[in-house]
Structure 1
Amino acid sequence: MGSVTTQKHANGLEYVDVNTELCQARIFMQGAQIDQFTPKGKPPLLWVSSADDYQPGNGIRGGIPVCWPWFGTHENPEYPQHGFARNKIWSLESVNMRNQVVDLVFTLPKSEFEQQYWPHNTEVKVLFTLSETLSVSIVNTNLGDTHVNLTQALHSYFPIGDIHQLKATGFSHSKYIEFGQGPITQSQDSVEFDRETDRVYTELAPLQTLHTPHGTILVSRENSQSAVLWNPWIDKSVRLSRFKSDDYLTMVCLEAANVLEDNVKLAPGESHTLTTHIAWQ
């Protein structure tokens, strides 16, 4: 029999613990952030830094932080990086289990919206479907009477064993911007890593593959033509908070996104759903 229970971390953060015949997972109310997902009989599919101490108010350095309602640095430099949703307390709206498949819906309460940053009348939910695979969605609905534009990302951290042996594929015929340069057209299908990598891709195919020493991870997207591929490498690792200096060796981020020209444009009453699907091949 499977179970879905609400528990509390030693540092006070509440989370939902999922244990079924298909998987084990943990999702925190803060940020609606999943930090553990392990299909039964297989290795974990998400990475978290051992330097993270799960303090309230800090987004967890790993798992899948929700970047909303903007990704990266806002045009106003006083606004928080990656929006404000990842540090807010979300509400668990519903739980449904059928044949050991668990569906969870989290909603960001209106009281948690930062009106000085986001004066729009919108609703945002994060949906999880947990089985042998993991699906995560951000659902935006414009409840107001004016158009709304936003950018967003599911900032997924993957355990890849050894960055020197990682090959990421599925990038041919896409474009990317990196360190302010671009757009650069990528003709080759694969990316390998020997330096800091911070690419914001557009015109990207819906499926990428991470070939690691421990197996192959499939990462796909719906309603998204953009994604971010990131590894901080050596110098930046030293500067990152809640991140060990050698953590770059064992992780990579491949983030489903709606950024740059792929931003979300919502007419009054309109909804949009960004989804990522993650699985071992």
Structure 2
Amino acid sequence: MTGLTSASPENHPWWRLSDSATEFPQHNSVDSLPLLVVESPLCRSVIAPQGAQLLTHTSYGRTTSNNDQLLWLSPTALFVRGKPLRGGVPLCLPWFGPHNEPGKPQHGFARNEDWQLLGAQADSDGNVVLSWGFGQYASQPHPEFPWRFSARLTMTLGTRIELGLEIQNCDTSPMPLSWALHSYHPVSDLAAVRVRGLAGCDFLDNTRQLERRRQQGDVQFNGELDRIYLSVPDEQIIATEPALAIRGSNCPSAIVWNPGYDKAAALADVGAEHGQEFICLERGNAGTNALSLDAGASHRASVSIGVTG
């Protein structure tokens, strides 16, 4: 199965191989993409080797009758090989947003290509730990990115989601790098939801040609919102039901996005009826927090997602 190596998980009762047509029969699986399903006493998660993308995560951390969905997957998500999947946690890499050269893909190419499963294990706390590698461009650069690099993404899946990312410049010159763990989160009422922990931070407003502004109070949603917050505190709270805490280390940007009604209606893999169901609160290095990674150097960062309060 593409994206899975000798570390494939068929020998453990907490994980199994599947595909998108089986796990998401109500979705449009143009291609039946391979999936890895985790079912442990602490959670249920579904991961696509394409992009090493965590698609869904149900936490059993509070009570068995009150399971918590930490991620949102669009009901109209399209499962197509080599195309972005709408929802979960896509990884934007090796650049975030549009490239300054026309024709290059939005948010890079790592989310659209297969990663290799390097390891799968259960730790002493009952979490499932998966390690994914993206090493196909360590010796030969991608046609659209003239630097050799590799990446490794570690997922610790339990009552919380813990994501650890390492990106290495395998080339002989400094490498430009921007990235984000583009996480989609469900909200109970978009009009009432608040994002806390960004007051006083500067942001680049993508609805106003990246005009730089400063956040006053909590972030609220009234129409399209698309912002890159710069040099933010480690933790933000999505005040919904249940409230979610997103905590990042060594990832100073927070990207907050909801398309608003009109843009959601124009997106085939969202739709007007689903645009009110989620917000994105992403952590990474974007905008003026983008990096220049020295030859041979590595950048390490982590993001934690869980219910709070």
Alignment TM-score > 0.5, same fold: yes
Question: Retained in 2: the 8 A contact 1:103–1:128?
Answer: yes
What is the rounded CA distance, in whole Å, between the counterparts of 1:181 and 1:227 in structure 2? 15
Gaps of at least 5 residues in structure 2 are 1-11, 22-30
Q: How many residues get paired?
A: 279
TM-score by length of 2: 0.86
1:211 aligns with 2:222: no
Offset, 1:242: 1.0
Structure 1 alignment gaps of length 5 or more: none
Deviation at 1:116, TM superposition (A): 1.8
C-alpha distance in 2 between matches for 1:118 and 1:265:
14
TM-score (norm 1): 0.94
Name the CA distance, whole Å, in 2 between partners of 1:111 and 1:204: 31
Q: Which residue of 2 aligns with 1:185?
A: 214
What CA distance in whole angstroms lies between the structure 2 residues aligned with 1:111 and 1:120?
8
Match of 1:139 in 2: 166
Matched, 1:30 2:50: yes
Contact 2:78 2:86 in 1 (8 A): no
After TM superposition, give the deviation of residue 4 of structure 1 in Å.
2.0
What displacement does 1:93 show?
0.7
Give 1:77's match in structure 2, choosing from 102, 107, 120. Answer: 102
Q: Secondary structure at the match of 2:71?
A: coil
Partner-residue secondary structure (3-state), 1:38: strand
> Which amino acid in structure 2 is aligned with residue 110 of structure 1?
Q
Structure-2 separation of matches of 1:205 and 1:111:
33
Task: Indicate conservation of the 8 Å contact 1:175/1:186, yes or no.
Answer: yes
Structure 1 residues 241, 137: closer, same or farther in 2, change over 3 A? farther
- SS of aligned partner of 2:144: coil
Cα deviations across residues 142-164 of structure 1 (Å, max 9, x unaligned)? 12221112100111000002201
Query: In the aligned structure 1, how far is the partner of 2:141 from the partner of 2:48?
Result: 20
CA deviation after TM superposition for structure 1 residue 138, in Å: 2.4
The answer to whether the 8 A contact 2:137-2:149 is kept is no
3-state secondary structure, aligned to 1:248: coil
Q: Distance in 2 between matches of 1:143 and 1:137?
A: 19
Matches within 5 A, 1:234-253: 234-253=261-280
Shift of the 184–267 alpha-carbon distance from structure 1 to 2, 3 Å rule, reads same
Report the counterpart of residue 3 of structure 2 in structure 1.
Answer: none
Does the 8 Å contact 1:133/1:277 carry over to 2? yes
Task: Return the offset for 1:261.
Answer: 2.1
**Which of the residues 182, 204, 211 maps onto 1:155?**
182
SS in 2 for 1:249: coil
Percent sequence identity over matched residues? 28
What is the SS of the residue equivalent to 2:288?
helix
AA of the residue aligned to 1:182 = E
Regions of 4+ moved over 6 Å: 111-114
Pick from 202, 208, 228 the counterpart of residue 230 of structure 2: 202
SS in 1 for 2:204: strand
Aligned-partner SS, 2:111: helix
C-alpha separation between the residues in 1 aligned to 2:224 and 2:271?
15
1:48 corresponds to: 73
CA shift in 2, pair 1:53/1:185, >3 Å: closer
Tell me the alpha carbon deviations over residues 119-138 of structure 1, each in whole angstroms, 9 at most, x when there is no partner. Answer: 21211111111111001232
Query: Which amino acid letter does the alignment assign opposite residue 32 of structure 2?
Result: G
Please say if residues 154 and 256 of structure 1, whose CA atoms lie closer than 8 Å, have aligned partners that are also in contact.
Answer: yes
Residue 290 of structure 2 aligns with an amino acid whose one-letter code is: N
Q: How many Å apart are 1:2 and its aligned residue?
A: 5.3
Which residue does the alignment assign to 2:7? none
Q: Which moved more, 1:237-246 or 1:72-81?
A: 237-246
- Equivalent residue letter for 1:104: L
1:4 lines up with 2:9 in the alignment: no
